């Protein structure tokens, strides 16, 4: 017996993948099966394929785990793990911190792993565990130096950037321990041309070594007939900043303060001038910050010596207007999925998740 399945129910499943190259991951777009392909006919009395069998990947409106299409979302398949307006469930909006009277709370409530949590600005922390007053602790302080509860001892200050502050002794001349002073050196001084002295080195008193800006590049410091720390690494183009570090003298570089630079203050190599936002195309030509705000997902860039801007990951400048930065969400927009102009299948209701059009295994019915 021959069995014929209507063409409206069964297609030859041909998975077509279109790849669009982006600066990050490739984008995969699945098209609908070819409706003009021949139908399956059982010509030898065998059974037709089981309805649960699969053949390739097809577009789908079904959201992957952790995502859902919420009523007020701009795009389908919102990420419930990170969407501040649909955190853990549709409509669950993460509250704003109530910083009244201009009080800076140094943080914000954000959706993290499906829960609204307090996220602190760099250099601040919620040390008292209360959400009401936000991130109240300054991590560049003697009470909380780098982390909650890490207090600096007496005669110490919390110094450094807010990325990595440390407790530093405030008593000048200490060696090995705060307030520990070295006894007077009794060894005879080195010849002046040796550029060497006895000093506190690695926490030990009166240790011999090179003065700041000098190194023993020929390795004869311990020899009686040596010449000490003969190399000035502040200005020697053959040992700039350290022994054996050579500047590109043929391209006009000089050694200044231990750095190989052009006389105008930039690296001389063409590669550097092609990419350096502070010396773009020419020394001391700094790319302007532009008109981008903090929500424009754009930052200034130098490409082939020409100033422009660079988009953050999964954001794009799809309208071609430089004044509004990178306005398009390439991670969620079905009309620009993974790259500008890459469209998901609107007929099938295909969503864009993490820069890829949603697909699932095709089933034969």
Give Cβ neighbours of residue 206 (< 8 Å, ≥ 6 apart). 182, 183, 185, 187, 198, 199, 200
Lowest mean pLDDT among 112-116, 133-137, 277-281: 277-281
Q: pTM for the whole thing?
A: 0.59
Q: With CA atoms as reference, report the closest residue to 308 among 328, 294, 325, 295.
A: 325
Q: Delimit the domains of the chain by residue range.
A: 1-73+332-365, 185-261, 269-330
Taking a C-beta distance cutoff of 8 angstroms, is the pair 143, 122 a contact?
Answer: no
Give Cβ neighbours of residue 153 (< 8 Å, ≥ 6 apart). 167, 178
Q: With CA atoms as reference, report the closest residue to 125 among 140, 112, 103.
A: 140
Output the average pLDDT for the chain: 81
- Average pLDDT value for residue range 98-112: 81
**pLDDT tens-digit map of 203-257:** 999 999 999 999 999 999 988 788 999 999 999 999 999 999 998 887 778 888 8
Q: With CA atoms as reference, report the closest residue to 27 among 40, 18, 35.
A: 18
pLDDT at 111: 96
pLDDT at 163: 84
């Amino acid at each position: 017996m021959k069995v014929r399945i209507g063409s409206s129910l069964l297609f030859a499943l041909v998975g077509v993948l279109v790849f669009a190259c982006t600066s990050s991951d490739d984008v995969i777009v699945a098209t609908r099966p070819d409706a003009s392909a021949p139908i399956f006919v059982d010509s030898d009395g065998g059974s037709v394929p089981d309805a649960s069998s699969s053949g390739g990947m097809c577009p789908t409106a079904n959201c992957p785990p952790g995502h859902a299409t919420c009523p007020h979302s701009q795009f389908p398949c919102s990420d419930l793990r990170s969407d501040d307006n649909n955190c853990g469930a549709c409509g669950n909006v993460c509250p704003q911190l109530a910083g009244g009277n201009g009080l800076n709370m140094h943080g914000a409530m954000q959706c993290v792993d499906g829960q609204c949590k307090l996220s602190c600005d760099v250099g601040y922390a919620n040390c008292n565990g209360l959400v009401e007053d936000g991130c109240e602790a300054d991590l560049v302080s003697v009470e909380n130096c780098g982390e909650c509860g890490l207090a600096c001892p007496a005669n110490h200050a919390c110094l450094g950037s807010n990325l990595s502050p440390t407790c530093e002794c405030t008593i000048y001349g200490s060696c090995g321990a705060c307030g520990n002073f070295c006894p007077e050196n009794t060894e005879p001084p080195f010849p002046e041309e040796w550029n060497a002295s006895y000093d506190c080195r690695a926490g030990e008193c009166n240790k011999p070594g090179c003065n700041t800006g000098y190194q023993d590049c020929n390795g004869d410091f311990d020899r009686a007939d040596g010449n000490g720390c003969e190399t000035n690494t502040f200005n020697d183009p053959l040992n700039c900043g350290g022994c054996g570090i050579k500047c590109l003298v043929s391209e006009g570089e000089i050694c200044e303060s231990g750095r190989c630079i052009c006389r105008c203050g930039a690296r001389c190599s063409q590669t550097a001038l092609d990419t350096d936002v502070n010396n773009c195309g020419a020394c001391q030509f700094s790319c302007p910050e532009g008109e981008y705000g903090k929500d424009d997902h754009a930052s200034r860039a130098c490409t082939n010596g020409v100033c422009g801007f660079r988009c953050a990951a999964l954001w794009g400048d799809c309208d071609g207007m430089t004044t509004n930065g990178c306005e398009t969400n390439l991670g969620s927009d079905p009309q620009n999925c993974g790259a500008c102009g890459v469209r998901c299948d609107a007929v099938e209701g295909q969503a864009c998740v993490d820069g890829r059009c949603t697909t699932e295994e095709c089933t034969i019915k």
